[in-house]
Amino acid sequence: MRVKLTVEYDGTNYVGWQRQDNGVGVQTVLENALSELLGCKITCYGASRTDSGVHALGQVVHFDHPGVVPGDRFPLALIPHLPPDVACIASEQVNDSFNARFDSRGKRYEYGLLVSKVPRPLRRRYAWEVHKPLDVTAMRMAAKHMLGEHDFSCFQGQGCSAPHAIRELTAITIEEAGDTIKISVSGNAFVRYMVRILVGTLVSVGEGRMPPDFVAKVIQSRDRKQAGPTAPAKGLTLCEVYYKEV
């Protein structure tokens, strides 16, 4: 029996989704919880290898098990077995051919910016604190150059194992509400650190250190050094994973 889970987690205390030797990954926590619940060893497969410190509202996972728990019962059944910062929020039985990673048709990430001259202790855990005003209009102009299919090598972090950086971004929205700016990025796939470097580049534009039109030249250069800094992981959340409708 193959089950699809939707998982929410606060990534602060984890080294990312994937099982790691240098710390605890969310995958390990979930596998341990499922194995304890079902009484057999369970291996999980996630749609996105979120980095250390990155959060998720909609990480999608699949796993196989003997069928002792109905496919739709895992959100409640897992509560006693998971720590407070990890939760299963939806589950369903799926076809045995379903693969959370390889069947994905796209993902949406959201990045939070907190514009404040002084530290904000209760909000800084989920946002990048920026201590000077940002020109949101300029950031929106710059974002238009990022849309479509490009070689995004300029937004690719070191250690990425992807064979190439050609990706398609389908939507970028930048919403401002008081001292908060939310950047939503949708695309068919992402290379390592891509959204965080993209956000760092937009912040450079917002601070006036890079003109909006220069972003097109950055992308054409395929040179990581031309782009902005890598935004901190804590501001990034995997919101949705898209699949083909059946």
Residue 140 in contact with residue 206, Cβ under 8 Å?
Answer: no
- Amino acid 112 reads G
Instruction: Return the residue matching tokens 């969310």.
Output: 26
CB atoms within 10 A of CB 120: 13
| E strand or H helix at 11 | none
Task: Tell me the three-class secondary structure of 58-109, residue by residue.
Answer: EEEEEEECCCCCCCCCHHHHCHHHCCCCEEEEEEEEECCCCCCCCCEEEEEE
Helix (H, G, I), strand (E, B) or coil at 226: helix
Rounded distance, CA 195 to CA 203, Å? 12
Give dist(CA 99, CA 103) in Å, integer.
5
Tell me what percent of the chain is helix, strand and coil, each rounded to the nearest 5: 25, 30, 45
| 242 sits in which H/E element | strand 236-243
The yes-or-no answer on residue 64 being catalytic is no
- Annotated active-site residue in 10, 51, 72, 151: 51
Q: What is the CA radius of gyration of the chain?
A: 19
**Residue 202 belongs to what H/E stretch?**
helix 194-206
Nearby residues of 220 by Cβ (< 8 Å), 6 or more positions away: none
Q: List active site positions.
A: 51
